[in-house]
Structure formats: C-alpha cells, structure tokens
Chain A
C-alpha cells in the first residue's frame, strides 16, 4: 500500500465523496421528479405490486386449460401430461364425452401447484395443445396445501397473458380462500 493509503483518511474521504455524489445526484433527480419532470429517476427500484417489469414471452407461469369453440375443454384425458410429469402434480379422472367423435373428457383435472416444478413437460407432451403455461400469473401463495390445488374449472377460466406478459385474467382464488 502507498503511504497515503496506509494513512486511510484520504481513502475514507474519497469513498465518502463517491457515496455523497450518489446521494446528491439522486436527491436532485427526486427533486426534479417531484417538480413534475417524470423522466428524472433517482432510484432503480421497481415498486413491485404496482409496477412490474415485462415478463418474457417464454415465461412458464400458471397453467391453463384451453377450450374448444363450443366451450368444452380441449383436453381428451389421454393422461400424457400426468404420465410425463416428474413431480406427479397432475391428477386426472377421465369420463366419456357426449360427442361420439371425441373419445374422452376429464371429469377432474387437478394440478397441485405446491408440487409443480414448472418444467413445462406437460405442455410439450400434450397432443391436443390443451394445456399451456402462458397466463403470466406467478402469485399463488396460500395459507394451506389445500389452497395450492387448482381444479379444472379454475384452470379453464384463465386467459393467456397480454403482449407485455402481464396476466389478463384475475388470479383464481382457491377453495380455502373463497369468501
């Protein structure tokens, strides 16, 4: 170390000068913003629940089940997704479809989000393109394990995310949090 550095005081003051420069620059930006100049930003913070950064279109978020044109689920209960799921979080009960051209339809289609690892294999495996992970919904905290289970009706009600990746449909409220 140089003698000046060993003396420490000069180095401390240069460090303090750096942080003080940040302080006054940011304060200036905050002040200009308060006076109406919206482009001035004194912080890099994104204030999360109100502000969000745009999500990538490739983001794997909460699943949704796609509907046919008549509104019935596109899923044919082939069990491909249930089989491929490494976390065993999909539970399907199949039943007959009223239309004889379609073999089966799920009576129950539950996903336990608490177990899901968001690998996207179910989307890859689906032969009918009936399950997608494009809702943009990432907030599914719950007070109970029961509340992490999303039923067929909830999954069918979801819409794909908008162009900026923000969720279009409201986050479904699981059964244990229904008012």
Chain B
C-alpha cells in the first residue's frame, strides 16, 4: 500500500510538470497570437467557435491541432526515411523532459510523507536541464540533414551554430549563480534565494547576479530559436530546417519552440527570479522584515509557492513574447558576433567578478 502511494506521488509529480509544460505550450500558441495582436492595436484570431461560442479565440489551438493532424503528411522522395520521421519527436522530447528537474514548489508534507514538488530530484539539476536543452538541437539538425533540401540543411547548420554560441553563454552565465548559491541542485538554488540581503532584499538571482540575468535571458531567447534569433528559420530568406515538413510534424517543431520558451522561462524563474519563493514567506507563514508576522497553514503556503512559480513563469513568458514581437531578426553574422564577442566574454567576466566578490565578502556557501 505504501509502495503504491509512493508510486502515485511520483506519478503525480511527473504528471504535474509534464502537463504544465504541454498545456502551457499549447496555450502559448493562443497567447502569442493575442499578445502580438494587442501589442499591434489589433484584435487577433477570434473566429474559431464551438456552437457559436468563441471565448476570445481560445479554440484556435484546437482548430490548429485538428488542421495539422488531418493534413497530408508529406515526405520528399530523397529524404532519409528514419531521421525525417524521428526529427520532430526528438525536438519536442528533449524540450519536454528538460522541465523535469525545475522545482515548482517547496517540500509538501502530506500524510507523514515529504514530497519535493519537482518531477525529478537531481543534485545536478542545472546540468541536466542544460544538457537536455542542448540535445534539443539534434532534432533540428536531423530535420535539416534528412530533408534532402539545401535550404533545410542551411537552416539546420545555422541552428547548430546558434545553439553552440548561445549554450556557451548560458552555461557560463549559470556558473555565477552556481557559485553564489553553492549548488547545482535547482531546489537548493531556489531555497538559497529565500535568504534576505541586508535583512530586507530577497536574495533572488536577479539581485545577486544582475549581469548573468541579462546574459542568460539573451542567450535563452537565442536557444529557443525564435525572433530575434530565428536565423535557423529565417522565413524571408531560407525558410529553414522544417521547410519540407507538413502536417503535425511541422506542428511539433512549432510546439518544440514554445516548449523551449516555457523551459527557458522556468529556468530563468528558478535561477534568477526566486523560483517558487514568495518574498518574506517562510514555511510557517509570512515574516516581514519590520517584525510583523502572519502564520499560515502549510497547505496554503505550498499553494502560494506554486502560484508564485506559475505567475513568475507567465511573466517571463510574457517578456519573451514581448521581445519576440518587438525586435527584427538578427542577421546570421550579427547573431554569431553577439554570441561569441558579446555574451561569451561578458559571462566569463561575470564569473571572474563573482569569484572576486565572493572572495572579498567571504564565501556564503
């Protein structure tokens, strides 16, 4: 019985993380349309209806899915049969599993059990998410290579080049955070951000590592392969790695981008925006720096924390969408220059500065 309950808890944890990413990604298709429309003084897609109900165009993702599932699934005659079919799945899969070690709440105590609100408890969580994000580019490269199309190949190679230049900046900028909080476990990093600087500033990553935050968000947007870093797609020049794809396979590439957006937003939240931390909320309730305190039941605290995580991720996604609908695309060489001559040296500088400050102030960890 106890083993069954444990299994159920593990299943629940995984299901929450999984469903959170999948549903967020599906919803992002709608968010993207509506947000861009409102930013541009338009109304946006609002015609899909079920029995006359339109609900702000919320049925458009469903209509899109039906459309893509019923379209012809075309494969070019000279395409590599296996890799061509595998590529979209690889792309989506690594995006989905990357979310596994991002914590969405503190430890939940229920019926004498301690449940960490995190799909997989990993003491190298940062490296795991990082590795899965990097592997995601294999799907894109496979798509470009197997399509037997020069433009697709170009797109795949651009994706690989962009990914390498962005991933190095991501990895190097994370190092500063890891140094400050002294752990590779995302849960520990988030716990560390619950501390207070000077007694009243929450020690979120954005406060302790402002430069790393800017670098990470920039490189993270590049890792999602979306505008302004959509050189792999480059719809006005090469159309990109999925030029030969149609139907739901094409849809999976689109979904992979949105899943990656969610993952990057989740990672940014965990590393820099305090994860599930609510300012001044500790396990027993609120404890304000001016001495006031408000005791809250455990379940409510956990609920507040999960809510805070979801809110922060949504805000981060909003910001990434804002950037995506504001900036034009970087030229390929500009993206490379930004990655190698801008982000990379700056993130190394950030590591050096962080080490220096930690040495002067005394290691916190």
Contact = CB atoms under 8 A, between A and B. Distances in A.
Q: Give chain A's interface secondary structure class.
A: helix
A19 B41 contact: no
Nearest to A27: B38
A45 B43 contact: yes
Contact of B39 (A9, A22, A30, A44): A22
Contact of A47 (B43, B319, B327): B43
A57 to B, nearest CB: 29
Given A9-B214, A45-B42, A45-B43, A19 B322 contact: yes
29 contacts: A8-B338, A9-B214, A12-B323, A12-B326, A12-B327, A15-B326, A15-B327, A16-B319, A16-B322, A16-B323, A18-B326, A19-B322, A19-B325, A20-B39, A22-B39, A22-B41, A23-B35, A23-B38, A23-B39, A23-B322, A26-B39, A43-B37, A43-B38, A43-B42, A43-B43, A44-B41, A45-B41, A45-B42, A47-B43
Interface in B9-62: 35, 37-43
Interface string B179-216: 00000000000000000000000000000000000100
A8 to B, nearest CB: 8
Contacts of A172: none
Nearest to B319: A16
Interface in A7-40: 8-9, 12, 15-16, 18-20, 22-23, 26-27, 30
A20 B322 contact: yes
A22 B38 CA distance: 7
A19 B328 CA distance: 13
Contacts, number: 44
Contacts of B214: 9
Contacts of A20: 39, 322
A42 interface: yes
Contacts of B43: 43, 45, 47
B216 to A, nearest CB: 13
A132 to B, nearest CB: 35
B229 to A, nearest CB: 13
A44 B38 CA distance: 10
Interface residues of B, number: 16
Given A15-B326, A22-B40, A23-B38, 16 more contacts: A12-B326, A12-B327, A16-B319, A19-B325, A20-B322, A23-B322, A26-B41, A30-B38, A42-B38, A42-B41, A43-B37, A43-B38, A43-B42, A45-B41, A45-B42, A45-B43
> Of residues A27, A43, A47, which shows the largest number of chain B Cβ atoms within 10 Å of its Cβ?
A43
Interface of B: 35, 37-43, 214, 319, 322-323, 325-327, 338
Contacts of B40: 22
A61 B275 CA distance: 61
A9 to B, nearest CB: 7
Contacts of A42: 38, 41
A35 to B, nearest CB: 15
A142 B325 CA distance: 37
B42 A44 contact: yes
Contact of A19 (B39, B42, B338): B39
A16 B320 CA distance: 10
A6 to B, nearest CB: 10
Nearest to A24: B38
Contacts of A44: 41-42
B53 to A, nearest CB: 16
B174 to A, nearest CB: 19
A82 B24 CA distance: 62
A167 to B, nearest CB: 23
Nearest to A41: B41
Contacts of A16: 319, 322-323, 326
A26 B38 contact: yes
A49 to B, nearest CB: 10
B180 to A, nearest CB: 22
Contacts of B323: 12, 16
